């Protein structure tokens, strides 16, 4: 094995060790964030929800602490499997790219629970305006989660669908996002804060409708649960009709710079 290859492998190993340290720091930060969010919820009159969230975080922290060695061993096992699979597919350089992309993609999302305990997996626009649940950010990430945990893809769809089905959303196309981190309280991209109306020239309706329909179709194909989207069929049909009606004017609507349909 060449010196360059050995250097790269060592760099990956160092990155793995750093990721473990970062994971511990992130766990501590999560506790601090939960406490901060709990205070905010209390101020908003959400005492019951805040108490439940704090209790759940405490139980999760205790459970994780008691299984620390087991969890770290599982992480090491998965790291080795991921790198071996990637190297077999495309060599050492490809394995390095996969290792970095895997961590970056997961770090770009946050796993939370809705008030009823339903899992939500929400993307974060860390380098722009802080939008969360951004559809054109979520869409290009789904291949990874379809492969390793399709339930997380469903967790990505839920916030968009829930917001689109609320009284706050009156448009025929899918939302661009569901809020600005850390609040999922409605689309902020292209929003006129004075009137509460969306700025039409800043919307991406054709792109986002296509993204959402493809995500739903991919999840159904992967999970093989035909009834998974049945409760939301009317909403999906509305987006499909919008796409059919306006697909020819895609060039005249705003489009993201990320990967999309």
Q: Where do the H-state alpha helices sit in the chain?
A: 3-43, 47-66, 68-107, 135-138, 142-148, 150-164, 205-223, 233-246
Say if residue 113 is in the same domain as residue 1: no
State which of 84, 107, 130 marks the end of a domain. Answer: 107
d(CA 86, CA 123): 25
Q: Which of 217, 72, 231 is CA-nearest to residue 146?
A: 217
Rounded to an integer, the average pLDDT of 210-232 is 90
Rounded to the nearest 10°, the torsion over CA 77, 78, 80, 83 is 180
Say if residue 72 is in the same domain as residue 123: no
pLDDT in tens, 75-96: 899 999 999 999 999 999 999 9
pLDDT in tens, 45-80: 556 766 777 787 788 788 777 788 888 899 899 999
Looking at residue 122, its pLDDT comes to 93
Say if residue 258 is in the same domain as residue 146: yes
d(CA 185, CA 25): 28
Say if residue 133 is in the same domain as residue 233: yes
Contact 202, 193 (CB under 8 A): no
Say if residue 66 is in the same domain as residue 12: yes
Looking at residue 242, its pLDDT comes to 93
Say if residue 112 is in the same domain as residue 208: yes
For residue 130, give its domain range. 108-261
State the total domains in the chain: 2
Rounded to an integer, the average pLDDT of 27-41 is 65
7 CA to centre of own chain: 33
Say if residue 13 is in the same domain as residue 122: no
Say if residue 124 is in the same domain as residue 211: yes
> Is the pTM above the cut of 0.75?
no
Residue 43: pLDDT band with limits 50, 70, 90: low
What the block records as the tokens of 204 is 């991406």
State which of 71, 91, 107 marks the end of a domain. Answer: 107
Contact 119, 48 (CB under 8 A): no
Say if residue 82 is in the same domain as residue 114: no
Say if residue 115 is in the same domain as residue 38: no
State which of 42, 74, 107 marks the end of a domain. Answer: 107
Rounded to an integer, the average pLDDT of 23-51 is 65
What the block records as the tokens of 18 is 């750093």
Say if residue 99 is in the same domain as residue 150: no
What the block records as the tokens of 138 is 């979520």
Say if residue 96 is in the same domain as residue 127: no
Contact 143, 222 (CB under 8 A): no
pLDDT in tens, 193-205: 788 788 877 888 8
């Amino acid at each position: 094995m060449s010196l360059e290859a050995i250097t790269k492998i060592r760099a990956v190993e160092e990155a793995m060790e750093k990721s473990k340290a970062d994971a511990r720091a992130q766990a501590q930060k999560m506790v601090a964030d939960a406490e901060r969010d709990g205070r905010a919820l209390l101020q908003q009159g959400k005492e019951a929800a805040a108490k439940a969230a704090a209790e759940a975080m405490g139980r999760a922290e205790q459970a994780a602490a008691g299984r620390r060695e087991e969890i770290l061993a599982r992480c090491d096992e998965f790291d080795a499997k991921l790198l071996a699979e990637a190297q077999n597919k495309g060599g050492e350089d490809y394995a390095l790219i996969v290792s970095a992309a895997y961590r970056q993609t997961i770090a770009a999302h946050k796993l939370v629970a809705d008030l009823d305990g339903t899992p939500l997996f929400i993307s974060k626009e860390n380098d722009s305006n802080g939008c969360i649940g951004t559809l054109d950010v979520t869409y290009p990430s789904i291949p990874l989660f379809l492969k390793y945990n399709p339930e997380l893809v469903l967790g990505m769809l839920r916030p968009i669908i829930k917001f689109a089905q609320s009284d706050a959303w009156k448009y025929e196309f899918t939302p661009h996002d569901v809020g600005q981190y850390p609040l999922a309280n409605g689309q902020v991209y292209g929003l006129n804060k004075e009137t509460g109306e969306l700025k039409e020239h800043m919307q991406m309706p054709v792109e986002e409708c296509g993204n959402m329909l493809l995500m739903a179709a991919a999840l159904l194909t992967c999970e093989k649960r035909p009834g998974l989207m049945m409760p939301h069929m009317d909403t999906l049909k509305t987006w499909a009709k919008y796409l059919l009606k306006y697909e020819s004017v895609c060039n005249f609507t705003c489009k993201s710079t990320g990967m999309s349909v």
